[in-house]
Amino acid sequence: MSEITIESAAATNPIDLLEEIVQANEWAHDRASDEEMVVEVSGRWCDYRMFFLWQQHTSALHFSCGFDMKVPKGRRGGVYELLAAVNEKMWIGHFDLWTQDGLIMYRHALVLAGGVEASSRQCEALLGTALDACERYFPAFQFVVWAGKPAREALDAAMFETQGQA
């Protein structure tokens, strides 16, 4: 039987690159350690809190973006139904409900195995994709959480796009 070996090269910490992008956009942030950073971004609907965690041993950058919205226990069934419908539409990343805190989060991981280094374009795409998804689906989550709308109705209303200007 042949022996399987894995070559491992330490990739450059992508948090350093992300911090440059965050500073260029003048977003409030806190670099708690070399491996983690928290960023605050104002969106159209609410403020978003982004968390970045670099795990050297797995060569993965974990990313999450939380809404400024807490889901009460009585609305969680509708939110879970909406999460399933929204995630079916997602190509990159997904939404979760952190049950302990009742927070809706967009999550994604960038795997940089084999010593691959993140590029500015990859990091910008990660941020852009997340913010686009959060801005697009926030109203649907708001309809379910605050207005008590059924998931399908909330998603249809949030996906409705007007054309032209009044």
Question: What would the DSSP string read from start to end of 110-152?
Answer: EE-GGG----HHHHHHHHHHHHHHHHHHHHHHHHHHHH---HH
What amino acid is encoded at 64 in this protein?
S
Q: What's the DSSP call for residue 89?
A: H
pTM to 2 decimal places: 0.83
Q: Using CA of residue 41, residue 42, residue 46, residue 47, what is the dihedral sign? A: positive
Ordered by where they begin, the domains of the chain are 14-72+91-135 (3.30.1460.70)
User: What does the pLDDT read at residue 41?
Assistant: 93
Split at pLDDT 50, 70, 90, the class of 36 is very high
Report which residue type is found at 109: A
- Quote the pLDDT of residue 99: 85
Q: Which residues contact 46 (CB under 8 A, 6 or more apart)?
A: 67, 68, 69, 138
pLDDT of residue 147 exceeding 90: no
Among 28-32, 52-56, 118-122, 161-165, name the one with the lowest average pLDDT: 161-165
